[in-house]
């Protein structure tokens, strides 16, 4: 066979091999590793087929372990417009296990296609073979060289020594890796596809702020962390902040949490009194408009207890605060008991007002 024909035959064979490999990987895609949630030993969760963006682990109450209590807690959850659990009540289950189930469920975020619906979840507690209990996911650590941002644009970052600092970690360094923790595989892929930075990019203040905007817009629970690696690289981590739940004391397991998070759209429907903000004349004259976003804690009686600015035009912020401080909501009940509510409030200013 001539040299030319031999090269042609080899090229044709290689093309067939590449096509075959593409067919196999396209027909049988590699399975992604499932999301790992740190439920305590002996705890299993049945979501009834509902998809989950992320959820916290469920602890096995220490008091229940010592008393040998086991069983299944059925919880009905109501989801807000974004799929967050906005309300929940226990349908059935041992009293000693209810508190742990409610504490965890109230931090869950299901898929957005379930928004506005009610779902039932079952959490089974079976005494583990070994006594030591592994706690659920602990709070996000702030190690040396790590800066964590979780409150939205304009929020000071937390420096390693616990003091507030300016937004400068990793700026000017090459992004070595991007890690997304705590989300389901599909949600992780969706978020990564929306990020404005990629591995190998040089991190700037603007790009880091854009990452925070995208992450918070995707899921308000997400925090963004940057860690310096060596003298020229940095890593970016986006995660769902887990919170270590203290072991409830004996006899307190049936007590509902004193504060829950409710989505802004859901809480808005509970407004009883809503004085409108006054458009600052100087802002209107300067054609300044936009949205002032606030974090709010609503007291058990429905009045505003605390407000914190997340973002907004400085010329509009005071007007929004003055108005929202006067708002009053219906009392929020959980298992028949009034609770405080954490929520976000948007105050819109448009020149057509």
Give the residue-averaged pLDDT of 311-327: 92
pLDDT of residue 3: 56
Q: Convert the pLDDT of each residue in 122-181 to its tens digit.
A: 999 998 875 444 443 333 333 333 344 443 333 333 333 333 333 445 667 888 888 887
Q: Which CATH architecture has domain 146-239?
A: Roll (3.10)
Give the residue-averaged pLDDT of 114-126: 91
CA distance 171 to 130: 47
Going by their DSSP bridges, the two strands 259-261 and 337-349 should be labelled as: parallel
Give the residue-averaged pLDDT of 307-326: 91
Choice between 7 and 125, residue whose per-residue pLDDT is larger: 125
Tell me what percent of the residues of the chain surpass a pLDDT of 70.
71
pLDDT of residue 169: 52
Chain mean pLDDT for the chain: 74
Choice between 21 and 9, residue whose per-residue pLDDT is larger: 9
CATH number of 259-349: 3.30.2420.10
CA distance 289 to 348: 8
Q: E strand or H helix at 218, and its extent?
A: helix 205-218
Q: Which of 150, 116, 294, 130 is nearest to 226 (CA)?
A: 150
Give the residue-averaged pLDDT of 287-310: 91
pLDDT of residue 257: 60
Instruction: Kindly report the CATH class assigned to 43-125.
Output: alpha beta
All CATH 3.30.2420.10 domain ranges in the chain, comma separated:
43-125, 259-349
Q: Convert the pLDDT of each residue in 244-258 to its tens digit.
A: 333 344 444 444 567
Are 296 and 323 in contact, with CB atoms under 8 Å apart? no
All CATH 3.10.20.310 domain ranges in the chain, comma separated:
146-239
Q: How confident is the model at residue 303 (pLDDT cuts 50, 70, 90)?
A: very high
């Amino acid at each position: 066979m001539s040299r030319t024909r031999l090269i042609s035959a080899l090229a044709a064979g290689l093309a067939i091999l590449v096509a075959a490999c593409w067919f196999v990987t396209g027909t049988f895609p590699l399975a992604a590793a499932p999301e790992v949630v740190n439920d305590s030993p002996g705890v299993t969760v049945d979501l009834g087929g509902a998809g989950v963006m992320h959820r916290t682990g469920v602890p096995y109450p220490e008091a229940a372990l010592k008393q040998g209590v086991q069983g299944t807690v059925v919880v009905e959850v109501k989801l807000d417009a974004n799929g967050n659990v906005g309300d929940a009540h226990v349908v059935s289950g041992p009293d000693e296990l209810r508190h742990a189930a409610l504490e965890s469920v109230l931090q869950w975020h299901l898929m957005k296609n379930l928004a506005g619906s009610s779902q039932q979840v079952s959490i089974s507690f079976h005494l583990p073979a070994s006594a030591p209990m592994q706690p659920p996911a602990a709070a996000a650590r702030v190690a040396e060289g790590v800066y964590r941002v979780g409150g939205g644009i304009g929020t000071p970052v937390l420096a390693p020594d616990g003091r507030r600092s300016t937004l400068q970690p990793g700026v000017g360094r090459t992004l070595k890796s991007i890690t997304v923790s705590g989300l389901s595989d599909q949600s992780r892929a969706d978020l990564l596809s929306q990020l404005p930075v990629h591995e190998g990019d040089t991190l700037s203040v603007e790009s880091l702020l854009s990452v925070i905007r995208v992450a918070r817009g995707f899921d308000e629970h997400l925090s963004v962390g940057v860690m310096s690696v060596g003298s020229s690289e940095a890593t970016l981590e986006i995660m769902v902040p887990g919170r270590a739940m203290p072991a409830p004391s004996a006899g307190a397991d049936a007590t509902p949490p004193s504060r829950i998070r409710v989505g802004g759209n859901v809480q808005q429907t509970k407004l009883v009194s809503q004085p409108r903000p006054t458009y600052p004349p100087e802002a209107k004259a300067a054609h300044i408009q936009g949205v002032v976003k606030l974090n709010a804690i609503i007291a058990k009686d429905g009045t505003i207890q605390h407000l914190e600015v997340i973002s907004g035009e400085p010329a509009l912020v005071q007007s929004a605060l003055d108005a929202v401080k006067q708002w009053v909501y219906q009392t929020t009940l959980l298992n028949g008991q009034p609770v405080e509510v954490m929520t976000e409030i948007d105050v819109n200013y448009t020149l057509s007002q």
